[in-house]
Amino acid sequence: MSIGYNLLMNIYALLEHAISTDKIALKEELTLQCLAYCNQNEVSTGDTFVPVRFTSPSYASRCTIVDPRKLPARKDFDTNEGLATLIHAIAHIEYSAIDLALDAVYRFPEMPLEYKIDWLEVAHDEIRHFGMLNALLESVGFEYGDFPVHCGLFDAADHTADSVLDRMAIVPRYYEASGLDVNPQIIKKLENKRKNPVVATLMDALNLIYEEEIEHVHKGDKWFKYLCEQNGLDESVYFDILERYKLLGKHRPHINVNARKEAGFTCDEIMKLGAKQCQ
């Protein structure tokens, strides 16, 4: 499907299509066209643009969505099915992150062009991450959609649809930052199974995703701080927002101090989140 630049005068129709479709190749094409346009032009929505409120995630046509408490327990990673459940769970996070990044551009047109470019670049990274994991999933005989999923990240996007400040606090600075804590723990659990070539490939993919996710969280941190400055807010409002979304008291057994610092968190914030020390 080829879309001419005459239609790119309003990228928001393309973004709405990209968020809605479950076809990854089309998501990528539309994302790249929007990114190319934003790299060369200022973007105007006109006076009549009103973003739609999505009622279901784009993956609903491919996946069975269940309550997180009803997700099946992870199986032994020594079997293809056991590995597939893990790969599928991570692939689902990356798929969800594509739509979250696209929605960050689509839903908040008042934000600067640099913001739009940042999140379109993130969306393209997430498409690539999903592609790596999906290929690995297929290599062990499964497909995306073969296991049930939850829609927690879609719900987070919906709950923050009316506030870009909340979106930056909750999605990149909470959920994606939590991924920085969890990713190394998954890699550690897989270490003694590295002789399995699928596990070795998965670990390589997770290491790459980890490094790039630090930059994604950093972009969220940058725009959260920008919004605080624009609105005359102290950055400590972050904890007020977490409290309002009932996320502040969540148990965090592992806080990745170094990654969070690299992504822009202060030691004061990291300690408040539960780290025992930060230097």
Per-residue pLDDT tens digits for 13-31: 899 999 999 999 999 999 9
| Burial of 93 per CB tally in 10 Å (0-12, 13-18, 19+) | buried
| Residue 77: per-residue pLDDT | 77
Phi, psi of 48 (to 5 degrees): -105, 0
Closest CA to 49 of 9, 80, 86, 87: 9
| Residue 47: per-residue pLDDT | 59
How large is the average pLDDT for residues 49-57? 92
Q: Using the predicted structure, report yes or no on whether residue 84 has a pLDDT greater than 70.
A: yes
How large is the average pLDDT for residues 50-60? 95
Q: Are 99 and 157 in contact (CB under 8 A)?
A: yes
CA distance 241 to 182: 22
Query: DSSP letter at 143?
Result: -
Closest CA to 147 of 190, 205, 79, 84: 84
| Residue 46: per-residue pLDDT | 56
| Burial of 173 per CB tally in 10 Å (0-12, 13-18, 19+) | buried
Which has more confidence, 77 or 266? Answer: 266
How large is the average pLDDT for residues 213-222? 98
Phi, psi of 264 (to 5 degrees): 115, -5
Residue the block writes with tokens 């630090």: 214
Which residues in 78-87 are b (16+ Cβ under 10 Å) and which e?
Answer: eebeebbbbb
pLDDT in tens, 87-141: 999 999 999 999 999 999 999 999 999 999 999 999 999 999 999 999 999 999 9
Q: Are 190 and 202 in contact (CB under 8 A)?
A: yes
How large is the average pLDDT for residues 39-64? 84
Q: Using the predicted structure, report yes or no on whether residue 73 has a pLDDT greater than 60.
A: yes
- Rg, C-alpha atoms of the chain: 19
Helix pair angle (113-139, 80-106), 10° resolution:
160
| Number of C-beta neighbours around residue 240 at 10 A | 13
Which tokens belong to 23?
A: 């076809």
Q: Using the predicted structure, report yes or no on whether residue 6 has a pLDDT greater than 50.
A: no
Those residues whose C-beta lies under 8 Å from the C-beta of residue 122, and which sit 6 or more positions away, are: 97, 101, 104, 216, 219
| Residue 48: per-residue pLDDT | 66
| Residue 119: per-residue pLDDT | 98
CA 134 to chain CA centroid, nearest Å: 16
How large is the average pLDDT for residues 252-277? 93
Which tokens belong to 198?
A: 């699928």
- H/E stretch holding 38 reads helix 24-38
